[in-house]
Chain A
Amino acid sequence: MTNGLREAPVELLRALASFLEPPSPQHAGLARVLGLGSPPTGADFADTFLFQLHPYASVHMGADGMLGGPVRERVGGFWRAAGRVPPREPDHLGALIGLYAGLWAEREGLSGAEAELVEAAAAALLREHVFGWAFELLALVAEGGGRYAGWAHVTYEALVEEARALGPSDALPVHLAEAPALPDPRVEGGAGFVSALLAPVRTGTILTRRALTRIARERGLGLRVGERRWVLEHLLGQSAPEVLGALAEEMDRAAARHLERASLLGETARFGERRAGAASELLRSLSSEGEAALSEIARTPE
């Protein structure tokens, strides 16, 4: 299943993974070598990875869009199966790319069946735990501009290269296969609906603070400061039909991005496209409901 002749760009991957750590003096040298321009500052790091896009598999592939839980546990299990002690945050993108580079470094001294085994592990790592979410995250980091945009672009390309070498797959990662879809609040009740909207695995996209701010600005709505669920609840409380329509547009854009990656990734990308498409459809249908029914959704306490 693997291309035994191929070498992964181990050092490049390690260097890219290190940018997911808070900025340190070493990053200036790395940015220069990679041609990324000015290295990011602590404030860039905080804005990108603490406020907007959280680089954890569990956030993107977990049913609740939260850190930890079964996704993190499964990823931790993968580390153990690969003969490593899982770090404190085994599902962090930096840790995962670092592990992938480490597996390739380990493979260097091996041959035959042993080498194939390590390559198989590296492939499984990407397909099961990385491809299902990292492309979408990197695309949004790049779209956000700023000092991490160049890094996101190179990292995206590096993962594309690895995906190309592996070829598309018809199998779905277990995390995705198990993930519930966005519930229809008319059927299942409003409780939990807003939280579900914030779980990327249910909607096929990541509703960042930036996206919520844009939605509010473009529609002249008041934006409360706080966690995203709180913000979204109050946006819905002001004008649910408008906000649901705007969210559907976000999902349409995400569906298009997933579709572009379908020939590269196979079923994983098609899953994302289906989730985003279905979410968009549901939101549009909801937005055509009367205000009264919708305000019920917005007000249902969680």
Chain B
Amino acid sequence: MDLNELNRRVSAARSEAEARGETFYPGASRVHLAAFPPKERWHDWVELDSRSWPQRVEKRYTLVPTTCFNCESACGLLAYVDRDTLQVRKFEGNPEHPGSRGRNCAKGPATINQITDPDRILYPLRRAAGRGEGRWERVSWDEALDDIAGRIRKAMQEDRHNQVMYHVGRPGEDGFTTRMLAAWGVDGHNSHTNVCSSGARAGYFWWMGMDRPSPDYANAKVIVLVSSHLETGHYFNPHAQRIIEGKKNGAKLIVLDTRMSNTATHADHWLSPYPGSEPAIFLAVARWMIAERRYDRDFVHRWWNWREYMAEGQGRPDASFEEFESTLESDYADYTFDFAAAESGVGAEVLREVAEAIASAGTRLATHNWRSAGSGNLGGWQVARTMLLLNALLGAIATEGGTFPNSWNKFVPRPIRLPHRHPRKWNDVLWPNEYPLALMEMSFLMPHLMREREGPVDVYFTRVYNPVWTNPDGFSWIEMLTDESKIGLHVAMTPTWSETAFFADYVLPMGHSSERHDLTSYEQYDGQWIGFRQPVLRAARERLGETVSDTRDVNPGEVWEENEFWIELTWRIDPDGGLGVREFFESKARPGEKITVDEYYGWIFDNTVPGLPAAAAAEGLTPLEYMRRYGAFEVARKVGKVYAQPVPDVELEDLAEDTAGRVYTRAPAPESPKAPGGNRFDPDAQGRRRVGVRVDGRVLRGFPTLSGKLEFWSRTLRDWGWEELAIPTYVRSHVHPQHLDRDQMPLISTFRLPVQIHTRSANAKWLDEIAHTNPLWIHPVDARRLGIARTGNLARVETELGHFVVKAWITEGIRPGVVACSHHMGRWKPEGHDGQRIGMSTVALGRDGRDWMLSVRTGGGPFTSSDPDTMRVWWTDLGVHQNLTHAVHPDPVSGMHCWHQAVRVRAAEAGDRHGDVFVDTRRSEAVYRKWLEKTRSAEAHSPDGTRRPWFMLRPVRPEREAYALATAPASDPDRG
């Protein structure tokens, strides 16, 4: 072999190729060492059958990607479809998914338990006795569809659109359902957000105009978490892997959690603050940074709305930046480390050390609050707001290693036939005037609001949502759901039995993650991706040459997917198109016919996902085929600082600029591939649209806030009656020691069990085996004081509404003086009802007027079924349903339910049994009224006669006229 000759030949070939302007060597590519089947072999993947061992029996699979439906992370899954039986044998991670990168948490692979659950609901059911009595009959889909569609059609014909409501938990999809509700003209989108994340969202929203954070953990120097993101949190697997990556690269991890969570155990600094004191800590850090000039003055000068604050908040329109800095210093002068230490119980020296670490991060500070303290406390929205203050001081917003707003790291493509309609009427059960600034619908107040409002909800869909179990005050929900004058028809769309489905009129079986289509995109790093959920057996059969046009044909029993269900329902609501609804569900390719799911997604992939058609063409595929084959596509990477992008010249035409530096243009907005949404801003007086802000002489994109800048001071909060909260501040929680009796202590209930996911996972046997109960965390000092001798002893926990009985877990992993109990577990079914056997106890429900009792009859243990594993269920303790005893605590600004409870704990009394619950719903009504007094309603405070600021987010935005208050507001003479 003549190596010199070979070298010469390669050199010559290179010169020739480069002379032709071609690339000679393949570009640098990722060189993976992965434990995944390479994608080239997905279609025909051979593994030896583990059950046949030690025989070598080869099994052939076709691997079909889909998206996990168990939490909002939307991680990629690969379904291993047996080519002989066409059944799914297992789920593993999809290495082609940019967010999850082939990894899953335990809940992803456990999808196989959910689809093979012997107790799952396989056919549409209609109640055959009184609501909640537990007697059901099987009906055809046609019967159910006609009945439901008929009622909705009638409501629309009678202009009762607002009596149709769709109540969703984690949506797990982007755009399909909100598009549908807009097409229906229904202001009935009801989400669980105000029992979940509105606290954190509000904190982010009032700064950036965008309500979710997207921290770039992997590149951070310091990571601060007010959450338990390594084992649970939102987007947790995609985030957890990047937090660990950041740590491996040397990042410091600071965790604020009153409990020693798994996340806390990985921290460099674990702070265990008294619940609700977190903003005091962040403000102390901020005060120190300000006093020591450890912040980015240039960034603050350029990007904060400090001028507006000085002019309108301080009445000093001519103030200089230096004067603002002095004001800032005096605004926070009281937040010393000693003050924060007194509030939080964390030593001042520790806080100083943490402050030093945070200040040293520069623009590589990644911070995150989700649920946790943000969802636990009155004023909890100040947790995220004061935390983001630290990023805003350091300029660590949308920087490498900093915190991004969600919208820049998420891509929701524009769908086919975008509805141009908006609901004409305001739904004041969801958006009551008492809470004009609530981030999302006041869903958890529904039983109380329905008691006060006239008229029913005529058709109420609960979609994979379980308010009876998930929301506080579940017995009030049962009272509402069983009152047919309040709820006309309750349709529970669910893959599995739930406490709410027991009180439905129809139970419609819906698919799990491998049995449905959806499109997802979530902010998980500085990039944008879309993930495609698909019925994997349908895709597998299509690969083998079959045509499947109805997902029911491949799903178990008559399980359906939502997309096809909604298309069919809409056509039955408006069979002749006379209501103007059907047109949005008609095919473009075949006018007059129903749109198919293939056309719906095929159109999106062809038209509004940049880069996808080219990537597909490079593999000889259509974009839809590409997504069916790989399940995900990365639309953009390294998006960076969108706010600092110059607005291109083509968008700058006949400009006008206001005193705040906001720039308006006559140039039309360029067509965007993204679905419209988010905040809305009025044009200027001459009709120009807002295009950016002027900073240092240049027109830059800015932030989607009223000012176009980061809003340190909020004009909206001031104008709507909350002047004292117009800058980031500290609100003492409802469980602050000042507000507790001597024998009360705070109960933290906002945390998950790592392998469980609210109500979705009770039917996963693997997960239940790992975690099936929710004991009360109690410190040894407290346990001794209260006479609870040993772990496992029963404790009685008294709340405002009643009490529950729970096993104690005596641990130093919780702060003395505080108790904690995960809201997971405690699932139940009433005696005499069918339901989940593996994850639900059977309970006796007793009622005496408005006194309610729940006591566990049996729970867990082995049982016979089609799955032999159910004979191996060894656990019998399925926990306690504590949320039943929680009263509603709506934060008057964010609308978030403030979950923490002030409780009295004592050793159980004779006769108390584990899992017992007692509640008086009269007391719940009283607590609702007490919290109502904290509100500042639109009627009393709206500055412009509307119910809600027009610019603020709404998932399905009604027409402008619907914003007008029915009665004129009391005017404030000081505001003119």
Contact = CB atoms under 8 A, between A and B. Distances in A.
Contacts of A264: none
6 contacts: A30-B25, A33-B9, A45-B38, A56-B33, A223-B48, A234-B53
Contact of B3 (A9, A25, A56, A67): A9
Nearest to B39: A42
A222 interface: yes
Contact of B50 (A22, A161, A225): A225
Interface in A136-174: 154, 157-158, 161
A65 interface: no
A234 B53 CA distance: 10
Contact of A43 (B10, B28, B38, B50): B38
A174 to B, nearest CB: 23
A85 interface: no
B13 to A, nearest CB: 5
Contacts of B28: 21, 87
B35 A227 contact: yes
A110 to B, nearest CB: 20
Contact of B6 (A9, A49, A54): A9
Given A29-B13, A33-B9, A42-B40, A20 B3 contact: no
Interface stretch (A10-18, A181-189, A253-261): A10-18
Contact of B26 (A10, A18, A67): A18
Contact of B24 (A9, A26, A54): A26
Which one of B13, B27, B35 has the highest number of Cβ atoms from chain A below 10 Å of its Cβ? B13
B29 interface: yes
Contacts of A214: none
A12 B31 contact: no
Interface in A28-68: 29-30, 33-35, 41-43, 45-46, 49-50, 54, 56, 67
B56 interface: yes
A285 interface: no
B804 to A, nearest CB: 40
Interface of B is mostly: loop
A217 to B, nearest CB: 9
A12 B3 CA distance: 8
Given A9-B4, A222-B55, A94 B31 contact: yes
B41 interface: yes
Interface string B15-34: 00100000111111111111
Nearest to B52: A222
Contact of A33 (B3, B13, B26): B13
Q: Which 5 A-B pairs have the closest CB atoms?
A: A222-B54, A46-B38, A9-B7, A42-B40, A12-B7
A154 B1 contact: yes
A202 interface: no
Nearest to A238: B54
Interface of A: 9-12, 14-15, 18, 20-22, 24-27, 29-30, 33-35, 41-43, 45-46, 49-50, 54, 56, 67, 87-89, 92, 94-95, 154, 157-158, 161, 221-225, 227, 234, 238
Contact of B40 (A10, A15, A34, A46): A46
Contacts of A24: 26-27, 29
A256 to B, nearest CB: 23
B11 interface: yes
Given A221-B54, A223-B56, A225-B50, A41 B13 contact: no
Contacts of A27: 26
Interface residues of B, number: 35
B37 to A, nearest CB: 8
Interface in B40-80: 40-41, 47-48, 50, 53-56
Given A46-B41, A225-B50, 9 more contacts: A11-B10, A14-B25, A18-B26, A21-B28, A67-B33, A94-B31, A157-B1, A158-B3, A227-B35
Contact of A26 (B25, B40, B53): B25
A126 B330 CA distance: 63
A50 B26 CA distance: 19
Given A11-B14, A43-B41, A225-B48, A50 B1 contact: no
Contacts of A234: 53
B33 A12 contact: no
B33 A224 contact: no
A43 B47 CA distance: 15
Nearest to B55: A222
A154 B6 contact: yes
A26 B23 contact: yes
Contacts of A33: 6, 9-10, 13
Given A9-B3, A161-B3, A224 B10 contact: no
A34 B10 contact: yes
A30 B13 CA distance: 8
B7 A11 contact: yes
